[in-house]
Amino acid sequence: MNIEVTFFAIYRERIGKNKHTVHLPEKANVANLVSAIRTEFPLIAPPSVNIVVAVNAEYAEETDMLHEGDDVCLIPPVSGG
């Protein structure tokens, strides 16, 4: 299946584009997506950084299943105060 991913802030800057289509097998979950992104774009974030994923405007867990057509966003860590 094809999942279109939107990148925000530093992730967008590191990848050099706002959106990217990731090709995943059927029954893939959020962890599979993050693994595919890290493989294709190894400079997106250090391995120690937890990449936050939102699916259909809600924060997702690693085990959440993905479906073609889902609205998926990668949200970098935010600091400040």
Domain ranges across the chain: 2-75
Residue keyed to tokens 């706002």: 18
Confidence at 80, pLDDT banded by 50, 70, 90: low
Q: What pTM did the predictor assign?
A: 0.91
Tens-place pLDDT, residues 4-35: 999 999 999 999 999 999 999 999 999 999 99
> Using alpha carbons only, what angle is made at residue 28 by residues 22 and 31, rounded to the nearest 5 degrees?
85
User: Residue 79: what pLDDT?
Assistant: 57
Tell me the average pLDDT across 32-53: 96
CATH number of 2-75: 3.10.20.30
Token pair for residue 35? 């693994």
